[in-house]
A and B are shown apart, each in its own frame.
Chain A
Amino acid sequence: MSILAPEPMLETTLFVLEPDVEVVTAALARMEALHLEDIVPEGWTPSPDWTGLANRYNSLAVHLGEMLQVLGCKPILGAAPDSDLHPARDWHDVEARLTASGIRVQSLQRQLKETEQELERLKQSESQVQLLLPLDVPVENLRHFQYQTVTAGIMPSENVSRVAEALFQIPFILIPLQSRKDATLLLAASSTDNAAILDRALKSAFFEPIALPPEASGRPAEALESLRRKTQEVQDRLHNLDHEREKMASELSPELSALWRRATADGILANAIRRFPKNGEVSLISGWVPTSDLERVRKAVERAAGHPIAMEVLKANPNRRSVPSLIRSPGWLKPFEELVTTFGLSSYNEVDPTLIVTVSFLIMYGMMFGDLGHGLLLLLTGLWLRRRHLDFGILVAAAGVSGMFFGLLYGAAFGQPILHAAWLRPLEGIWTILIAAVAGGVVLLNIGFVLNLVNAWRSKDWPRMFLEKNGVVGIALYWALLGGGLGVGFRVLPKSVLLLIPVLCTLLWIHEPMAKWIWRRHSVLTVEALVTGFFELFEAVTGYASNSLSFIRLGAFAVAHEGLSDLVAVYSQGRWGWVVLLVGTVLVVGFEGVIVGIQAIRLEYYEFFGRFFEGRGLPFAPLSLRTGGRNANMGVRI
């Protein structure tokens, strides 16, 4: 396991005889160590028979899932069935056992559905009659016009004027009654002769007519009362059916759940097998296996098949986009993985920056939020969140510890300078802390530069390594600007050092034509490359300065934190001082804690990652029997 890079992968192909395909696939799925890849060599074809089986299992799983849903139960996600799986024949048994229970559940489902539909219809009628309340005319009157077509309904507000234009050929009446959000309740009328035109115009303006419910009569208020009584009766009926459902659920759900898990697992296997190309009696199972798992995989498939299985194993080409990334961080680092994965997953040929990001994030957070007392509150909040099984809690707790550590360096607890400052008090050493912040940023950016060199080296991208803005030339320019500028300013270095700057700028400007010349790289026309190169050079130079200075916020927030805390402390002196202290502390810890976190993440993502990290990795999603999200590369929704 490498803490700084995705697991090395092996492109693995298994040549499996037809009778062994099921057991080998099941063994692979139980191991969760193979990320399938679709490769169909010439002369090989996918297995069409398995497509039918996969569909059958998918339908069975959906059907069983629906039945469980009718009974108010949820299938248990994640659990793989214990029994041996044989997708070629299991469906017989699943279907047979499903039939008996199915009839009872379906009957209940039908009754429930009918009752729910009736309830829904009554509620819809209620809402429709409610819309008619402003009319205050008997509902039945609207149905009995002889020479007029009158219709009430809703249409998008912006279409009301459009429909009026569309009816330019006939006499008509449009009365907007009420507007809600972007829809308008409208009464439209025309003579019966023109009913078809009115209807077409309204329909094409996306008018939704309000169908007058047959049971509604009298003025809208009376009709509404009568509908509400009927709704109550249907609700009582539904309540009784719910009791019946609970009884049936306790009786049938264990078996239906087991069947669902089996059908789902068989479906996963059938879906996988249908993708394996076949040639005669041999099927090809191709995919990516972590190097450390290869022997385990070999033993497991051979044990399942009962004899040796031919395997072809190739080292992954790191520049292939399809190689998945598997990051196996040690347990203590896992809660911090999200700091990186929120931005993106490391590609196979990229360094995984989780460790560096964790350390730098905590340092930056602590620097901005340094206070022993506030850090302690954050630590306690984090531990409380962790007790509620939120991994995020560990990050909060660690940020709290970092805040406490810097609190000791600043000598502050709850905004009071009651401790000896091991380093300095931010308000008393503003320039020192600002300079320290920028210096820290320079260190982090240079770590980013180094990581970019490593990434370029891993992917054998030499122009990126040597010539580009984050490569050797770029780093040299950065140091010529920063180190050279400071050195000459403080008269440590001779002025001639600054001559390096135009030389390096020129190299950076012409990096694309140079790459084309040295490495025979495909490139745009030289003139265009020079124009683009000029803009890129400008952006690179300003970027070096702005990225470095961006870290000044670390110091600024440290000063602001102490200032704010100080303010709270000053105003918490009187009789109600404890209220001010309480509210102020909550504000400082809550709001500032979040803002400081966002600032630290921003520095990581924009300033640090911008130097080396793309995060376009393909997640390693092994073939698995678990349900609920592990089969990302299966194309199956479960």
Chain B
Amino acid sequence: MSVFSYAAAQGYIRARLSRFLDRATWARLLEANSPTELAEFLGHTAVAQAVTPDGAIRLRVLRGEAADAGRAVARFLPRGSRELVSWYNARFEIENLKTVLRSVHYQLERSRALSSLIPLRSTRWRWEELLEVGSVAAFIDQIRESPYARPLEHAMERYQKELRLFYLEVAIDLFYFQKLVRLIEAQSGTDETDALRFLGRWIAVQNLLWAYRYRIYGRMAPEEIINYTLHRAFAAGLDTVRRVVLGSPLTVEAGRLGFRLSPRLPEVEALTEMELQAERELFRLATAIISRPLSRLGGVLGYLWLLEGEVHDLTGLVEGKTTGLSGAEIARRLLRTA
């Protein structure tokens, strides 16, 4: 059945696979001698739209396109997986909501906030108008009809008392991931297996990272860490978080998830290493899955993951070239070298 259910999505994805930058192009990009040369190279590739006429590189455009691709491919899916992929895609919208929240909270310049927004082609709001609201309360009022309003309202009292955006951001993140977990759990058969391999794994890693970040950077109390993390997160749920708050070392918990971190690394650096390892692992999985018949949810998730991975790597490349790193140094930080 899945062969038929995923036929249209497969056609859509196959038609777009050639838009990914190939190995030869990557090798050439890494050899660019300056950001200007890099922009010139990029201008002749499939991501030319991210290069403005004055040579600036706007990778947000590519993220917008990844969001559009997610939305477009979701339309072709059977109902259950469509709901899952659509909600997974909502992360772009949430990212923009957080940008607006930050802009309103810190009273940032409108132009600066605008340039940080992901250009979403299909969205329920006019982001430019949201940026003009005078306060966080007014912002929540503007998005009242959306599912994000309730979790934000719950956190609003605490935000108003302490004026820390953290509470709003954590409320919206928890809301997003809790629903994602529920949608993954609602899948069955191969769709469930695929969803767990990509999204389940991703969620578990995120949850573990949160728990450690709250412990290391936020120096939060155990009860706070437990409240600000997911209790159901597949391989890193409540039991894992409890162990983290009681002092379990990162190497141990990362090991339980199958990561081998370099010994004797400070916890802060170990966190970064684990994050990179996790992203590379999913990138490898996506690359492998996309080269096989795509008649399952895994093909769709793999494609979306590769899109994000390419933007991730391009970001690393542009930032690396801007700060004067060599091609070899940049390559070590990319997902695709793994």
Contacts and interface: CB of A to CB of B under 8 A. Distances in A.
Interface stretch (A87-95, A156-164, A588-596, A617-625): A156-164
Interface in B136-184: 150-151, 154-155, 157-158, 167, 171, 178
A527 B18 contact: yes
Interface string B41-52: 000001010000
Nearest to B156: A206
Select the residue from A163, A182, A204, A532 with max chain B CB neighbours within 10 A: A204
B238 A197 contact: no
B238 A528 contact: no
B333 interface: no
Contacts of A156: 150-151, 154
Given A156-B154, A169-B222, A182-B150, A205 B227 contact: yes
B171 to A, nearest CB: 7
A166 B154 contact: no
Contacts, number: 67
Contact of B223 (A166, A525, A531, A535): A166
B11 to A, nearest CB: 6
A637 interface: yes
Contacts of A169: 222-223
B154 A165 contact: no
Interface in B192-229: 221-224, 226-228
A632 B12 CA distance: 39
A156 B157 CA distance: 12
B18 A163 contact: no
A524 B226 contact: no
B132 interface: yes
Contact of A524 (B18, B227, B242): B18
A191 B239 CA distance: 25
A203 interface: yes
Contacts of A332: none
Contacts of B223: 166-167, 169, 197, 200-201, 204
Select the residue from B46, B154, B238 with max chain A CB neighbours within 10 A: B154
A208 interface: yes
Interface residues of A, number: 30
B14 interface: yes
Nearest to A206: B154
A527 B19 CA distance: 11
Given A197-B221, A200-B221, A524-B19, A165 B226 contact: yes
Contacts of A155: 154
Interface string A136-177: 000000000000000000011011001101111100000000
B154 A524 contact: no
Nearest to B222: A169
A131 to B, nearest CB: 15
A535 B11 contact: yes
B227 A166 contact: yes
Given A168-B242, A206-B158, A535-B11, A528 B224 contact: no
Interface string B212-256: 000000000111101110010000001000100000000000000
B238 to A, nearest CB: 6
B15 A535 contact: yes
Nearest to A198: B223
Nearest to A168: B242
A206 B14 contact: no
B231 A206 contact: no
Contacts of A205: 227
15 contacts: A156-B151, A158-B178, A159-B154, A168-B242, A197-B221, A201-B224, A203-B158, A204-B227, A206-B167, A206-B171, A524-B46, A527-B18, A531-B14, A535-B12, A535-B15
- CB-based closest 9 A-B pairs: A201-B223, A204-B227, A166-B226, A166-B223, A204-B224, A206-B154, A531-B15, A528-B18, A156-B154
Interface of A: 155-156, 158-159, 162-163, 165-169, 182, 197, 200-201, 203-206, 208, 522, 524-525, 527-528, 531-532, 535, 635, 637
Interface of B: 11-12, 14-16, 18-19, 46, 48, 132, 150-151, 154-155, 157-158, 167, 171, 178, 221-224, 226-228, 231, 238, 242
